[in-house]
Amino acid sequence: MSFNPHAIAHMARLAPQTPRGLTTSAYDPTDWAPLSPQTCDRLRLIPDYDRTQSSFISHEAADLTRPRVAELKSQGASILCWTIRNREAEAKAREVAQNITFEAYPAAFSA
């Protein structure tokens, strides 16, 4: 799993039998310098899912309502999310995501 789709595509060539996925985000350019706004715009669309032969994404929790996330889920992709820091955020994230990455709090729900 990586934010870098080129690394995941390379892993697909090296180890096609190993599950892999993309870490994805809303890619707000103010948070992603030195990436250009154009690169952020492209990555926000999650265009590399098929090219990387991914089986899941781990998406920014605050952006789980993005239509592309729903589209991938409807096509069978597993949806994980990052980073959850409290029970309320976990409950909301689990409306979309099958599993979560959490920080500084013990998960309240089983996966």
Element (H, E) at 11: helix 5-14
pLDDT at 105 (0 to 100): 79
Residues 84-96, mean pLDDT to the nearest whole number = 95
3-state secondary structure the chain: CECCHHHHHHHHHHCCCCCCEEEECCCCCCCCCCCCHHHHHHHHCCCCCCCCCCCEEEEEHHHCCCHHHHHHHHCCCEEEEEEECCHHHHHHHCCCCCEEEECCCCCCCCC
Q: Which domain covers residue 64, as residue numbers? A: 5-102
pLDDT at 110 (0 to 100): 62
Confidence band (pLDDT; 50, 70, 90) for 108?
low
Residue at 92 is within a domain: yes
Question: Above 60 in pLDDT, residue 73?
Answer: yes
As a whole-number percent, the residues of the chain with pLDDT over 70 amount to 95
Instruction: Read off the pLDDT of residues 56-72 as tens digits, 9 standing for 90 and up.
Output: 999 999 999 999 999 99
Instruction: Read off the pLDDT of residues 31-58 as tens digits, 9 standing for 90 and up.
Output: 999 999 999 999 999 999 999 999 999 9
Residue for token pair 């180890």: 15
Task: Kindly state the tokens that stand for 1.
Answer: 């799993």
Question: Above 90 in pLDDT, residue 9?
Answer: yes
Question: Above 90 in pLDDT, residue 26?
Answer: yes
Residue at 25 is within a domain: yes
- Give the CATH number for residue 95: 3.20.20.190
Domains of the chain: total: 1
